[in-house]
Structure 1
Amino acid sequence: MNETWYQQSRFDVRLEWGQNAAKQLARHVDCVVIVDVMSFSSCVSIANDNQAHIYPWPWKDESARRFAQENGADVASFTRTFAGDRYTLSPASLLTIPAGHRLVLPSPNGSTLSFQARDCGAAVFSGCFRNRAATARACAAFKHIVVIPAGERWPDGSLRPALEDHLAAGAIIAALGRESMSPEARAAMAAFNACRQEDLYHCSSANELVARGFADDVALCLATDVSPYACRLSDGCYQPV
């Protein structure tokens, strides 16, 4: 069996889901865009807008604190709810993060994928609705691009494909304006073009945040093209481009 059947190698712009995409496809392209709308990628975008730097880290344990100390950084709360730490995975908590601040942001989705992709040899970006156009501009110079919607998690830890990540991936692909797209990438773009943005306020991930008291985060995550910066992983942290 051909071991490269999943690489979508005939096409310049590709799309595949989750951690296995970061492990298997990232090393076969020039550019990786990780999309975790609710909330890692939106947090990164908001922090980079303020000229703060975000260090992705996969694990919510003592290793995150050690990693932060090694990098002269603060570490976000391991829960979204304020728990004595100033910053969390709530985008609203990062609206006033100061320029130059270094923050380790552990998350099981976008941060984990970023960590997995960082040594693949490709340029790695964090994309979302907020920086859709800026991300496309930053990726324009790269020939082969894979866009990776992170998805969410079911209680058993398995991947839950998330509508908002699929549509944001499609939004970035649309902004790239390439002709050579894999069927997966073209389908995501078509889904974005066909969906009403207001419908996303009622998707499963948005419903979860509202139920947990984070309705303000939903609006922040779904705002489109409000950031002038792409977010590129460099020297272990996301920085504004």
Structure 2
Amino acid sequence: MITPYQQAGYRVRVDWGPQGADAVGAGAALVAVVDVLSFTTALTVAADQGIEVFPYRWRDARAFEFARSHDALLAVGRSEVGPAHPVSLSPATIRSAAGVRRLVLPSPNGSAITQRLAEAGATVVGVSLRNAAAAAAWTVAHLAGADDAVVAVVAAGERWRADDTLRPAVEDLWGAGAFVGALAGHGFGPLSPEAEVAAAAYQRVAGRLPQALQDCASGRELIGYGYPQDVAIAAEVAGSRVVPVLEGVSFRPQRLA
């Protein structure tokens, strides 16, 4: 049954979080997941290095077993990084890692949404500010000839610690808007009103993106915890031409020609 929340009639649709993914992802040919601080930024850094990434909802005992079964390194919490556990969700640790071929990357937001969509049979790509333009170009080429193909964009958002409800995170709106705007630049549309708002939000800050990321709530939080480098990496607009595409249970890098 078509609902108003599906944004039917538009080829590019945007919504928030797991429930939004269910709404706009229904029937979509492709779903772009955006979690700028930090899952999809970490994902694109890994893709740049040719690392196969396995998304996982939680870092628990099952995650250890999942990593072992796929001969992959399990990313730890940021505060747990050390010689024995060199990689976390921090993009900086992935960039500095050596010899990693497969990585399990737990995240309660972007990774959890990705798994939810994959279980529903969706084609999923990881989008950040670093690769939004490349992901849009890849998407248009991938869907060439399918004139009615729908692209859903899911801004992951964060969770309020008090009650685990969704906290819309402006950096994910900007990342979604960068991708949507690039799609529109290729003539891919029409955009839903929600998608138009995302594109407009990105254009508002595009000329001062690094400072805007530092100043937004999530950026301030990461900087306050001692991870300013992760915010700086997230602000590398168009710094990557690699598109992580979910194939089975893992993201594999797809490079533009």
TM range (shorter): over 0.9
- What residue identity is the alignment partner of 1:71? H
Which stretches of structure 1, 4 residues or longer, exceed 6 Å deviation after superposition?
none
Deviations 1:11-35 (Å, cap 9, x if unpaired)?
0000000011223332310000000
Alpha-carbon distance change, 79 to 138 in structure 1, aligned in 2, over 3 angstroms: same
CA distance in 2, matches of 1:191, 1:166: 7
* 1:216 matched residue in structure 2: 229
Q: CA deviation at 1:9?
A: 1.2
Alignment counterpart, residue 192 of structure 2, candidates 171, 179, 182: 182
Q: CA deviation at 1:81?
A: 4.3
Aligned-residue offset at 1:179: 3.5
For residues 100 and 210 of structure 1, the distance between their equivalents in structure 2, rounded to whole angstroms, comes to 26
Identify the range of structure 1 (136-145 vs 62-71) with the bigger mean alpha-carbon deviation. 136-145
- Amino acid of the structure 1 residue aligned with 2:154: I
Displacement of 1:38 after TM fit? 0.4
**1:164 and 2:162 are equivalent in the alignment:** no
Distance 1:25 1:66 in 2: 32
Structure 2 residue 241 is matched with structure 1 residue 228: yes
1:145 aligned residue: 151
Q: Could you give the per-residue CA deviations for residues 36-62 of structure 1, whole angstroms, max 9, x where no partner exists?
A: 000000110000100011100001210
Structure 1: how far apart are the matches of 2:214 and 2:176?
17
What SS does structure 1 have at the residue aligned with 2:126? strand
* Structure 2 residue matching 1:55: 3-state secondary structure: strand
1:117 corresponds to which residue?
117
Q: CA separation in 2, counterparts of 1:78 and 1:214?
A: 13
For 1:168-223, what per-residue CA distance to the aligned partner results, in whole angstroms no more than 9, with x for missing partners?
10000001123400000001001111123132221001100110000111100111
The aligned residue for residue 74 of structure 1 is 73
Structure 1 174/206 Cα, relative in aligned 2: closer, same or farther at 3 Å?
Answer: same
Structure 1, unaligned runs of 5 or more: none
CA distance in 2, matches of 1:105, 1:69: 13
**Distance in 1 between the 2:79 and 2:204 partners?**
32
Instruction: Mark the CA change 1:44 to 1:80 in structure 2 (over 3 Å): closer, same or farther.
Output: farther
**Aligned residue type for 1:153:** R
Alignment of 1:77-88 (within 5 A): 77-82=76-81, 84-88=84-88
> Which amino acid in the other structure matches residue 216 of structure 1?
Q
Alpha-carbon distance, 1:80 to partner: 4.8
Name the structure 2 match of 1:55.
54
Aligned AA (2:181):
A
Native 8 Å contact 2:40 2:128 kept in 1: yes
CA distance in 2, matches of 1:125, 1:30: 11
Report if the CA contact (8 A) 2:16-2:157 is conserved: yes
Larger mean CA deviation between 189-198 and 60-69 belongs to 189-198
Query: Which has more helix, going by share of residues?
Result: 2
Please give the alpha-carbon distance, in whole angstroms, between the structure 2 residues aligned to 1:107 and 1:224.
22
**Map of 1:25 onto structure 2:** 24
Equivalent position of 2:91 in the other structure: 91
Question: C-alpha separation between the residues in 2 aligned to 1:96 and 1:79?
Answer: 14
Name the SS for the 1:29 alignment partner. Answer: coil
CA RMSD, 1 decimal: 1.5
Structure 1 residue 99, shift from structure 2 partner: 6.4
State TM-score, norm by structure 2.
0.89
Distance 1:17-1:29 versus aligned 2 partners, 3 A rule: same
How many pairs does the alignment contain? Answer: 240
